[in-house]
Amino acid sequence: MVNVNVSVIQDPFGQHDPVSEKYFFFLSNRAELALSRGWFCFIWSDVNVFAYLRELDGLNKAFLVVLNFGKDTTTDLSLVSELPDTLTVHLSTLPISQKTFSKSRILTSQGQGLLLEY
């Protein structure tokens, strides 16, 4: 987490490069309170995917973070009753044209991270 009181951030990995995924994640993290100050709730892990929620009490939106560390896969989170049936793509570390996912069919590629809003 980046301290909001820091005036200079030294990051050689591209968080200031406008075409970098890290740049977009950095901006999202600072703009979305649920990401920087919300609580963490683990909901899923298997051989390929790790998924968790970021929520903040009192806000009308939350985020599902899906990280694929394995092979291309489809994750079914239909058993997670707290999630709505449709999730909106807020950010992806790989270019995708899909703007929404059904919670029962979240497709991720190897090395991909998804930030899904609900």
How far, CA to CA in Å, does 16 sit from each of 10, 23, 77?
10, 6, 34
Q: Find the helix or strand (DSSP H, E) in which 26 lies.
A: helix 21-31
* Burial class for 91, CB neighbours closer than 10 Å (0-12, 13-18, 19+): middle
Answer yes or no: is pLDDT of 65 > 60: yes
Answer yes or no: is pLDDT of 50 > 70: yes
* Burial class for 17, CB neighbours closer than 10 Å (0-12, 13-18, 19+): exposed
pLDDT tens per residue across span 2-44:
566 555 555 555 555 555 555 555 555 566 666 767 788 999 9
Position 60 confidence tier, pLDDT thresholds 50, 70, 90: confident
The residue with greater pLDDT, 33 or 90, is: 90
Answer yes or no: is pLDDT of 88 > 60: yes
- All domains of the chain in start order, with CATH: 38-117 (2.60.40.1180)
